[in-house]
Amino acid sequence: MIGCENRQAMLNSLLDGELDAVNTAEAEAHLASCHECREEFERLRSVRDAIAQPGARHRAPDSLRARIDAALASGEPTASRRALPSWLAPGVAGALAASLAFLLVVPPGAQAGLDDQLIAAHIRSLQVAHLTDVRTSDEHQVRPWFNGKIDFAPQVPELAAAGFPLAGGRLDYVNGRTVAALVYRRRLHTINLFVWPESGSGARHLQKSGYSLEEWSAGGLRYAAVSDVGPGDLAQFRQAFTASTGGK
């Protein structure tokens, strides 16, 4: 179990999406039980969100990039390059170009980090016997249970006729916020469907660490289904869910 003695490294790695699914599950379980670490994580997340706001990051002007590209392409020495040993100048130019690229391009890995968190939340729900807060196949009991606990209303269709019976629901914690988790079954397998407010994201599907993920957006909400069933079964689940809810 990850402890408080190395919490700073753990929290930074969790925030940056650098932990694998198992370590993410352990870290999030620690946050659930440690108030001090949870407060520190929220502080770090607030700093990250503030830095990501428009205007907080300086974008190098296009003219600077054009001048650097032209200098690299021409191979002509500049005043700064002449002042450096010949063996060092190319490395400095390369580092400068890399730094410029960092300013112009958002670093990749945010989506991969979210994928790991979703898988970790799925694993955690099975490991700690906290699969459901409300255990019922009655959609008319599951959906009202979320009232007052989250600031949105997820669709909760019963999909037994399509081969995906509803098992219940719970609250979970993914990507720094509380989300709804709807639980469905596929034969002996569990499907966790995580739901949170987000619009404008396209559909995607992938397999990672032995798990299948299916994601889509509808009605201002983001849906992410995670399970160890095959990708074909999870695609069928998504089709049954969207057909039952009318894509809302």
pLDDT in tens, 16-32: 777 777 777 878 888 78
- C-alpha 236/C-alpha 187 separation (Å) is 14
For position 49, what pLDDT does the model report?
Answer: 66
Residue found by looking up tokens 């995670």 in the block:
226
CATH 3.30.200.100 fits 110-245, yes or no: yes
For position 67, what pLDDT does the model report?
Answer: 78
Convert the pLDDT of each residue in 89-117 to its tens digit.
555 455 554 444 433 333 445 677 888 88
Q: In this predicted model, which residue has the larger pLDDT, 244 or 71?
A: 244
For position 1, what pLDDT does the model report?
Answer: 37
188 phi and psi angles, rounded to 5 deg: -95, 10
23 phi and psi angles, rounded to 5 deg: -70, -30
Chain-wide mean pLDDT for the chain?
Answer: 78
Question: Exposure of 184 by Cβ count < 10 A (0-12 exposed, 13-18 middle, 19+ buried)?
Answer: buried
For position 130, what pLDDT does the model report?
Answer: 67
- C-alpha 201/C-alpha 86 separation (Å) is 48
- C-alpha 191/C-alpha 201 separation (Å) is 21
For position 143, what pLDDT does the model report?
Answer: 86
Domain boundaries defined on the chain: 4-51, 62-104, 110-245
Question: Over 70: is that where the pLDDT of 181 sits?
Answer: yes
Convert the pLDDT of each residue in 205-234 to its tens digit.
999 888 999 999 998 999 999 999 999 999
Q: Give percent of the chain above pLDDT 70.
A: 73
Q: What pTM did the predictor assign? A: 0.58
Residue type, 192: N
The Cα-based distances of 136 to 7, 32, 113, 159, 164 in angstroms read: 37, 25, 32, 13, 14
Question: Over 50: is that where the pLDDT of 50 sits?
Answer: yes
Residue type, 21: A
For position 55, what pLDDT does the model report?
Answer: 55
Q: Which two tokens stand for residue 12?
A: 């930074």
